[in-house]
Structure 1
């Protein structure tokens, strides 16, 4: 028996103890925290700077600041997700990168709006797996 349900493989990462997911096809690599060069006057407050990633100067977004999550100091568990943008790579700082999961597209639920006009543009939906609730990131919206 065949099924039309699309399978997704997602990278699970944490921000302030909450789990988020991102399609693995969009993640080039997961790196330990590397030295950053600050960029004064950056166009967005969540741009932490730039870094030299394998010989290329790459912008770094602190995803915690982008999503309005408290940003604790970097530690040994802090990771950088190198994600594929439109034409280049962008780095995202996260608290931890935990796991890889396979999910069915049918398992993704919409995030209910709290107010009539409220949207959650940074998110694709939520997946419930056992006792876990994983919010799926809409990476193209984050990178705009």
Structure 2
């Protein structure tokens, strides 16, 4: 079954799903955030078939989420490193983790204080907002 492409959609959420709309992509990015860099590390962590992992890594590189660089140990291997665009997915992963509300083997931690951190909604003036306080609306035409 061929996947539908949302690359030409107006909605940025739909367009984003073209890159990270399958679970392997987000799990690869999660593993990159926790320090995995090599094909074998991703494969061992995820238990995904090598052919599927190859396709997903190529797509993440092509879409600018990851970049391949020479191995940091000087070996002939290549490593996958998050780009700035890939780094932007941290909030997405944290939000999914908070939404899932289950126990996790990972935690978002404040580097300075070593304490857990959470995502919150805030108004432009800094007020904390609850879900009842906000709504998703179409952006104004430019």
Q: TM-score, normalised by structure 1?
A: 0.22
| Structure with the larger helix share | 2
Higher-Rg structure is 2
Q: Would you tell me which structure has more strand in proportion to its own residues?
A: 1
Higher relative contact order, chain-length normalized (CA < 8 Å, sep 6+) = 1
